[in-house]
Structure 1
Amino acid sequence: MIRYALTRLALLVLGLFVASALIFTTLRILPGDVAQVIAGVNSTPEALAGIREQLGLDRPLFTQYGDWVGGILGGDLGRSQLTGTPVASELLQKAEVTVPLGILSFVIALLVALPFGVLAAVRRHRPDGVFVSVGAQALAAVPVVWAGMMLVVVFAVTLGWLPAQGFPRGGWSDPAAAFRALLLPALTIGVVEGAVLLRFVRSATLQAMGQDFVRTAAAKGLTRTQALLRHGLPSVGLSVVTVLGVQVAGIMVGAVVIEQLFSLPGIGRMLVEDTGNRDLVKVQGELLVLTGLVLVIGFLVDLVHRALDPRQREAE
Structure 2
Amino acid sequence: MGGNVWFISGASSGFGKHIAQEALSRGDAVIATSRKGTTLKDLEAAGALLLDLDVTSDDATIQVAFQAAGDKHGAITHFVNAAGYILTGAIEAISAQEAFDSFNNNVLGVMNMSRNQVAYLRPRRAGGVIANFGSVGSWYGGAAFAHYAAAKWAVSGFTESLHEEVKEFGIRATVIEPGYFRTGFLNEGGGNCRSPRNEMRDEYTGTGVAGVMDFLGQANRNQPGDVVKAARIIVDVLTGTGVAAGKEFPIRLLLGPDCVRDVKAKMARTEALIREWEPTITSTDHEDVKKA
For normalisation by structure 2, the TM-score amounts to 0.24
Q: Which has the higher contact order (CA 8 A, sep 6+)?
A: 1
Larger radius of gyration: 1
Structure having the higher strand fraction is 2
Structure having the higher helix fraction is 1
For normalisation by structure 1, the TM-score amounts to 0.23
